[in-house]
């Protein structure tokens, strides 16, 4: 089994720009990436690839293999899957609430595919036992797309139901979940900049 | 064991008012309430109470006992807990993705308390084995509060990690999760009014 993490540091997380500037966003995604690598390693996954369109921010990465592919995310991942000769876990880099326990459960599915839904129709992780028989299509409602691709190719699948693994950090409101449920460097980074504020209904953020 | 569902139909779900008018919101919350009752019954819970400040919308409710209490939610629930002589599951009425499997897992916790976090710091369900030893405090960051109350009273607790049980329907974006992951009357109601639209990043809603 191997894991692959799509990653782009340059100009990362533009939807967080109302609350974090470019430098902060780039620092923050690097912390999140490293937490995902930590969780994968703690779960016993030794072969970890980072798939990036650019070497920016990965110049000294020694904890994972860096694969550069300038193509669009889907093309790059599908090329990766085509060449893979063992089960592949695709895991997004913005999942600081993903734990080793989640990863162990996801990769021990009895089905051909395990799909971890993210907020708003996304796919936060995808475990594929036979990668040469599967193609990904991220963007848009990729969760539904990935379910259909599994069905259409005759592979059965499990939907992995987790609040924590389902929390990808894209919008300012997601930082609230990180502050409430998170730990580690990514949480500490946000903790130094914001505090929780009780707004109408859900909890929000205010800067220090 | 008994379950209690706090419920208020009049003027319900004001944060959905950008996309649903008052009548629609009141119809919709009634459908969600009935789905939660369905899931509780399917999970084998026979004693179900609806705790409401008003009889409005519950005039002909025959599927659960209706308890009227005009006090604020926390006061009414704490009075309920004080008088309960068996384990209590408090479950919110706006959880149309909550299944009988979730309920069975939540109520079979080995800990004293099982807390189901909702989006933005909320508490979507709370299972309390010794209700006379526990008090609730909803509103604000109630998830963290409920963890503290458990700790302070010397009761251990489990956090139940579920994307589906964690999805309370309060904001328009939550309707997207219902359309993607839901089934049943509440989903069908929203399905007739909106379709999914791929916006920047996450999927959004557009009216028909």
Interface check A18 vs B, CB under 8 A? no
Separation in Å, CA of A167 to nearest CA in chain B: 9
The answer to whether residue A202 sits within a structural domain is: no
Tens of pLDDT, residues B129-171? 999 999 999 988 999 999 999 999 999 999 999 999 999 999 9
Chain A hits for B206, Cβ within 8 Å = none
Tens of pLDDT, residues A77-130? 999 999 999 999 999 999 999 999 999 999 999 999 999 999 999 999 999 999
Interface check A119 vs B, CB under 8 A? yes
CATH code, domain carrying A118: 3.90.550.10
Q: Which domain holds residue B35?
A: 2-166
Band of pLDDT at residue B108, cut at 50, 70 and 90: very high
Nearest CB among A117, A121, A202 relative to B119 is that of A202
The answer to whether residue B85 sits within a structural domain is: yes
Band of pLDDT at residue A184, cut at 50, 70 and 90: very high
Q: Determine if residue A171 is left, alpha or beta; phi over 0 gives left, psi from -120 to 50 gives alpha, anything else beta.
A: beta
Band of pLDDT at residue B19, cut at 50, 70 and 90: very high
Which runs of E-coded beta strand occur in chain B? Answer: 2-6, 48-52, 65-68, 88-91, 113-117, 123-128, 157-159, 194-198, 203-207
Tens of pLDDT, residues A17-45? 999 999 999 999 999 999 999 999 999 99
Interface check B200 vs A, CB under 8 A? yes
The answer to whether residue A182 sits within a structural domain is: no
The answer to whether residue B77 sits within a structural domain is: yes
The answer to whether residue B205 sits within a structural domain is: no
B4 neighbors B92 (Cβ within 8 angstroms): no
A58, pLDDT greater than 80: yes
Predicted confidence at residue B162, as pLDDT, reads: 98
B81 neighbors B126 (Cβ within 8 angstroms): no
Q: Cα separation of B39 and B106, whole Å?
A: 13
| Rounded mean pLDDT, A139-143 | 90
Instruction: Provide the token pair at B108.
Output: 């079979």
Question: What is the share, in percent, of chain A residues with pLDDT greater than 70?
Answer: 100
Do A200 and B15 make contact, defined as CB atoms within 8 angstroms? yes
Separation in Å, CA of B130 to nearest CA in chain A: 25
Nearest CB among A144, A173, A176 relative to B180 is that of A144
Do A198 and B122 make contact, defined as CB atoms within 8 angstroms? no
Do B180 and A141 make contact, defined as CB atoms within 8 angstroms? yes
| Rounded mean pLDDT, A1-21 | 96
ipTM over cut 0.90: yes
Separation in Å, CA of B144 to nearest CA in chain A: 7
| Number of domains making up chain A | 1
Predicted confidence at residue B43, as pLDDT, reads: 98
The answer to whether residue B120 sits within a structural domain is: yes
The answer to whether residue A131 sits within a structural domain is: yes
Interface check A206 vs B, CB under 8 A? no
Q: Which residues contact B195 (CB under 8 A, 6 or more apart)?
A: B205, B206, B208
As a three-state string, the secondary structure of chain A is CEEEEECCCCCCCHHHCCCCCHHHHHHHHHHHHHHHHHHHHHCCCCCEEEEECCCCCCCCCCCCEEEECCCCHHHHHHHHHHHCCCCEEEECCCCCCCCHHHHHHHHCCCCCEEEEECHHHCEEEEEECCHHHCCCCCCCCHHHHHHHHHHHCCCCEEECCCCCCCCCCCCHHHHHHHHHHCCCHHHHHHHCCEEEEECCCCEEEEEC
Average pLDDT, chain B: 96
Predicted confidence at residue A200, as pLDDT, reads: 62
A206, pLDDT greater than 90: no
Do A144 and B173 make contact, defined as CB atoms within 8 angstroms? no
Interface check A163 vs B, CB under 8 A? yes
Cα–Cα distances (Å) from A73 to A6, A7, A57, A202, B101, in that order, read 7, 9, 18, 33, 36
A199, pLDDT greater than 80: no
The answer to whether residue B78 sits within a structural domain is: yes
Nearest CB among B165, B181, B203 relative to A140 is that of B203
Separation in Å, CA of B55 to nearest CA in chain A: 24
């Amino acid at each position: 089994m191997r894991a692959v993490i799509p990653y782009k540091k340059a100009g990362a997380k533009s939807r967080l720009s109302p609350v974090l500037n470019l430098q902060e966003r780039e620092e923050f995604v690097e912390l999140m990436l490293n937490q995902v690598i930590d969780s994968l390693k703690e779960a016993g996954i030794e072969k970890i690839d980072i798939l990036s369109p650019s070497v920016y921010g990965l110049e000294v990465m020694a904890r994972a293999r860096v694969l550069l592919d300038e193509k669009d995310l889907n093309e790059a991942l599908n090329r990766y899957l085509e060449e893979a000769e063992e089960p592949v876990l695709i895991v997004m880099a913005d999942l600081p609430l993903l734990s080793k326990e989640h990863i162990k459960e996801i990769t021990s599915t009895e089905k051909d595919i395990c799909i971890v839904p993210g907020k708003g129709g996304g796919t936060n992780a995808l475990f594929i036992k036979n990668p040469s028989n599967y193609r990904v299509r991220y963007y848009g409602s990729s969760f539904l797309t990935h379910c259909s691709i599994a069905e259409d190719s005759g592979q059965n699948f499990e939907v992995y139901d987790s609040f924590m693994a389902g929390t990808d950090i894209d919008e300012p409101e997601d930082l609230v979940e990180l502050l409430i449920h998170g730990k580690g460097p990514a949480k500490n980074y946000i903790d130094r900049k914001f505090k929780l504020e009780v707004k109408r209904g859900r909890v929000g953020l205010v800067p220090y």
